[in-house]
Chains A and B, each alone.
Chain A
Amino acid sequence: MLEIILVSTLNGVLYGMLLFLMASGLTVIFSMMGVLNLAHASFYMLGAFFGFEISRRLGFWPALIIAPVLVGLIGMAVERYGLRRVHKHGHVAELLFTFGLTFVITEMVEMFWGKLPVDYRVPPSLDFAAFTVFSVNYPAFRLFVLLISVAIFIALLLTIKRTRIGLIVQAALTHPGMVGMLGHNVDRIFMLVFGVGVGLAAIAGVIAGPILITQSNMAALLGPILFVVVVVGGLGSLGGALVASLLIGLVQTFAVAFNVSLADLFGTSQLSAVLEVWLADIWRVTIAQIAPIMPYILLVLVLIFRPRGLMGTRDT
């Protein structure tokens, strides 16, 4: 039992930190431009596939640098020539634009890499067991992913709280007009933030690719969970995004570890026989099976009872 708890906690925190790498960019882009970038997970997928292709040719370490930079540049081009154009048609048009982008990116990926998973492997230099707990070997690569995400989180926090650029970004979040008046090019700040945001998602893609499956449906699988994270955490709140990411990461990982259903809890009795007839499938469903829908239940509950999210400052 202790073994399950320890390994699940590690994996849950790891998954949560990966979610946070993506959610942080998403939530900053949202609070700055008012655009919820539906294609954010698609940029994460692009990162994974670029990472795969580059690490096949040049090795994993160059890929870790080059892929996010490439994706960031693509993101900036999308912001400059796409989003900025659509902006004048209003928020719905912007949402729809990013929605169309998810289609195009998914299809592009399928066009070049096909629908089957690609063979994106853990780099040999990190392919060993870091430590052993209760006869379970914990892979070094997972530890590396955890460290990198924590390092990026700290760097991001310091950049936003302690540097001049961070100050301008923070100001542009709430008072874009005033920041423009003071002589800063707000459009360029938006473009940079968009580029850095999707670049962070791409880093998550490069390092998550070997652990999760690198496949053309990975954006569609992860995208909705990402939106759950930012809504539950509170739109625009970095701290909220961190808490929500870890919460969802842990909930999903622990749920998978428990194979208990209502039928198991009640055992065999007169009552349970009656309930089994009435509840049918619900009676037999295990917690592991409902793990995929837990984030959405959380989303609906949060929107009903606390619409501003865990740490948000304004109603969504």
Chain B
Amino acid sequence: MNQSATISSAAPASTRAGLLVRYGIWIALALTLLLLPYVFSSRLALSTMSLMGTMIVFALSYNMLLGQTGLLSFGHAVFFGLGGFATVHMLNLVGGNSYPIPLPLFPVVGALGGLFFGVLFGAVATKRAGTAFAMITLGIGELVASSALILRRFFGGEEGITTDRTDMLRVFGYSFGPQIQVYYLIAAWCFLSIVLMYAITRTPFGRICNAVRDNPQRVSFIGYDPSTVRFIAFSLSGLFAGVAGGLSAINFEIVNAAQMGAVESGSVVLMTYIGGVGNFAGPIIGAILVTWLQLILSDATTVWPLYVGLLFIGVVMFAPGGIAGLLSMQQPLLAARTLHRVLPYYFLMFVPGAVAVAGLAMLIETSHQFSIRAAYGPRMTLYSIPFDVTTLTPWAIGAVVFAVGLWLFLRAARLARNAYDAALPQRGNR
């Protein structure tokens, strides 16, 4: 759904476009969110989609910093976690119906928590940009994560704080016990947050953020203070991260200090960048893809973060625009109706690429079995083929498959690049 969303949202809107065309993408998004549980109705799918919705809000809030304002933060999970803690404490305070507040309003508490700490830490961090900003956010992230283990009463130590989401005032009889009701709560907040964050990018403030990213010096010449712009962007980004934290708290009914740590902060960097920072839809794609990858890979192998890390390095090195960047590269071809000329080459790239990945996976899994899982014996099964890792054969096969796949992939990539350049309309040449 998001691939088509990227392309059509990026397409130049005709000046006489009607209401339906203008808001068509949003109506499509709302309908997709509404109808998804009918397509994927299993319990696992529902909880996965709830998690994805939370992560979409989180990744988009991160891209307000990285993509829109050019600020690389390594401590963004702080606002996610603190928003979650604010929500959980408010839920416990209100619980048992002592105040008549329905559950769907609680992400607002997360938002306020995120905004409060966004203002607090933003005042320190946004005085500088670039590497210094990255270091300060890293320091703040470590500071908060380590403090959380000391201040046990508020953060609940290692176990975290639990709550009960069903104990609130019920509106229209919804208890929010079943996952499907929680999914719709998250979907609604996800939709609202996406619309709001997109709207922010369209305001003059959003444009000034982009200007601060591209050339802070010129921004200060036209009368804006870049550090104030950064500060506002940082605070707003904290607000939306707090919403995501609140949604996560409602979804899992628990928040713990680990959710504010370096791992969580790192994973939002991975999601956002793999999806693509240059395009509004990029983080959405990244959040869905990485959540899904984590789910299927962690089932298949214990070293799954290695694969995600390699994917991330691959994106940084070869496709700095991320997946959304690769997709929007196809847009001029689509407009010139020459995409069909390049598609066969993409397919030609895909096949040896998949072979190379399979070979690499074989090398990784075989060495993993050889060194760590040796306690389980030298026999293992990969791609439903059993073999013995103490013999040379599996290593040789893995290496050969990887090398041949990679070589063919690089050749195909060169062909595809030539075809792409040829298919590009002359005027729009890079």
A and B interact:
yes
- What is the interface of chain A, defined by CB distance below 8 A to chain B? 30, 34, 36, 82, 85-86, 89, 91-93, 95-97, 99-101, 103-104, 106-108, 110-114, 220, 224, 227-228, 231, 235, 280-282, 285, 289-290, 292-293, 296-297, 299-300, 303-304, 307, 315-316
The interface residues of chain B lying within 8 Å CB-to-CB of A113 are 371-372
Check B139 against A227 for contact (C-beta < 8 Å).
yes
> Which residue, B127, B132, B153, B317, has most C-beta atoms of chain A within 10 A?
B317
Interface mask (B128-151 → A, CB under 8 Å = 1, otherwise 0): 101110111011101100110011
Contacts of B313 in A (CB 8 A): 82, 97, 100-101, 104
Q: How far is the CA of A229 from the CA of B277 in the complex (A)?
A: 31
Q: Are A103 and B367 in contact (CB under 8 A)?
A: no
Nearest 7 pairs between A and B by C-beta?
A: A103-B309, A107-B306, A316-B132, A296-B143, A100-B313, A299-B139, A104-B309
Cα A49 to Cα B186 in complex, Å, equals 44
Q: Are A92 and B72 in contact (CB under 8 A)?
A: yes
- Contact status B124-A304, CB under 8 Å: yes
Query: What distance in Å separates the Cβ of A66 from its nearest Cβ neighbour in chain B?
Result: 19
Q: Is A281 a contact partner of B131 (Cβ separation < 8 A)?
A: no
How many angstroms between the C-alpha atoms of A235 and B136 in the bound complex?
Answer: 13
- Whether B316 lies near A224 (C-beta < 8 A) is no
- Whether B417 is near chain A, meaning CB under 8 Å from some CB there, is no
B127: chain A residues at CB < 8 Å are 303-304, 307
CB distance B371 to A231 under 8 Å?
no
Secondary structure call for the B interface: helix
| Least Cβ–Cβ distance between B329 and chain A, in angstroms | 15
- 17 chain-A/chain-B pairs, Cβ below 8 angstroms: A34-B131, A36-B135, A86-B317, A103-B308, A107-B305, A110-B303, A110-B372, A111-B368, A220-B262, A224-B138, A227-B138, A231-B139, A280-B153, A300-B139, A303-B132, A315-B128, A315-B132
Give complex CA distance A107, B266 in Å.
14
A91 near B131: Cβ-Cβ < 8 Å: yes
Report the bound CA distance from A290 to B142 in whole Å.
12
B154 within 8 A of A: yes
| Minimum C-beta distance from A57 to chain B (A) | 14
Chain A residues, Cβ within 8 Å of B80: none
Q: Could you tell me if A97 and B136 are in contact, using CB atoms closer than 8 angstroms?
A: no
Choose one: A36, A281, A290; the contact of B134 (CB below 8 Å): A36
Q: Closest residue of chain A to B371, judged by CB?
A: A112
Q: A89-B320, A104-B310, A296-B139 are in contact. Are A303 and B72 (CB under 8 A)?
A: no
- Whether the Cβ atoms of A100 and B124 lie closer than 8 Å is no
Which residues of the other chain, B, contact A289 by a CB distance below 8 angstroms?
150
- In the assembled complex, which residues on chain B have CB atoms less than 8 Å from the CB atom of A112? 367-368, 371-372
Interface residues of B (CB under 8 A from A): 66, 70, 72, 74, 124, 127-128, 130-132, 134-136, 138-140, 142-143, 146-147, 150-154, 262, 266, 269-270, 273, 303, 305-306, 308-310, 312-313, 316-317, 320, 364, 367-368, 371-372
Give which listed residue, A34, A86, A231, A293, contacts B316 with CB less than 8 A.
Answer: A86
List 10 extra interface pairs beyond A92-B72, A96-B312, CB under 8 A: A95-B72, A100-B316, A103-B270, A111-B306, A111-B367, A113-B371, A224-B142, A280-B153, A281-B152, A316-B128
CB distance from A119 to the nearest CB of B (A): 15
Q: Known interface pairs A89-B320, A99-B266, A281-B152. Does A316 touch B312 (Cβ–Cβ under 8 Å)?
A: no
Do the beta carbons of A281 and B139 come within 8 Å of each other? no
A112 to B153, CA, bound (A): 39
Given A95-B72, A303-B128, do A293 and B273 touch, yes or no (CB 8 Å)?
no
Q: Give the residues in chain B near A315, CB-CB below 8 Å.
A: 128, 132
Which residues of chain A are near B131, meaning CB under 8 Å? Answer: 30, 34, 36, 91, 95, 235, 316
Q: Tell me the minimal C-beta distance from B306 to chain A in angstroms.
A: 4
| Smallest beta-carbon distance B280→chain A, Å | 18
- Please report the C-alpha to C-alpha distance between residue A224 and residue B145 in the assembled complex, in whole angstroms: 12
Instruction: For A228, list chain B residues within 8 Å (CB).
Output: 139
Cβ of B269 and Cβ of A96 under 8 Å apart? yes
Task: Give the docked Cα–Cα distance between A224 and B150 (Å).
Answer: 19
A97: chain B residues within 8 A (beta carbon): 313, 316-317
Q: Give chain B nearest CB distance to A168 CB in angstroms.
A: 25
- Quick one: closest B residue to A96, CB to CB? B316
Q: Report the nearest A residue to B133, measured CB to CB.
A: A316
Which B residue sits closest to A299, measured CB to CB?
Answer: B139
Residues of B close to A281: CB separation below 8 A: 150-154
Name the residue of chain A whose CB is nearest to the CB of B267: A103
Q: How far is the CA of A97 from the CA of B367 in the complex (A)?
A: 25
Q: Which residues of B contact A220 (CB under 8 A)?
A: 262
Query: Is B303 a contact of A107 with CB atoms below 8 Å?
Result: yes
Chain A residues contacting B317 (CB-CB under 8 Å) are 82, 85-86, 97
- CA separation between A107 and B307, bound complex, in Å? 9
CA distance A82 to B318 in the complex (A): 10
Which residues does chain B contribute within 8 Å of A304, judged by CB atoms? 124, 127
Q: How far is the CA of A178 from the CA of B87 in the complex (A)?
A: 57
A300–B124 contact, CB under 8 A?
yes
